[in-house]
Amino acid sequence: MVEKVDKHKEKLMRDITEEVTSLFEKALDYAEVAVPKVEQYKRLRSKILRVGNNCIRNINKVVGTNYIVRFDPPTETIIESKLGNSAKE
């Protein structure tokens, strides 16, 4: 059972990492437009990446040490379709 819980933690950490990474990628896209000088943008980019990566590491550390995680996948929705046979026999 411990192995399954660890897989659930890993999934949560991957999901969080993807979301935070997406956040700072979008922030960098906006910053690239908002900061016209290349040197200023490079400094800002470095800080955004550092803060984002530190955030991911800190969240992973807290989740890894302080939480028991169980993933409940969404229930599956089955949609049935009745297609009429258009070919005449």
pLDDT of residue 89: 46
> Do residues 12 and 63 lie in contact, with contact meaning Cβ atoms separated by under 8 Å?
yes
| Helix and strand counts by DSSP (H, E) for the chain | 2, 0
Tokens found for residue 24: 């700072």
Which residues 6+ apart lie within 8 Å of 67 measured at CB? Answer: 9
Confidence (pTM): 0.68
pLDDT cut 70: percent of the chain above it: 85
Mean pLDDT of 25-48: 93
Residue 69's pLDDT band, with cuts at 50, 70 and 90, is confident
46-59 confidence digits (pLDDT tens): 999 999 999 999 99
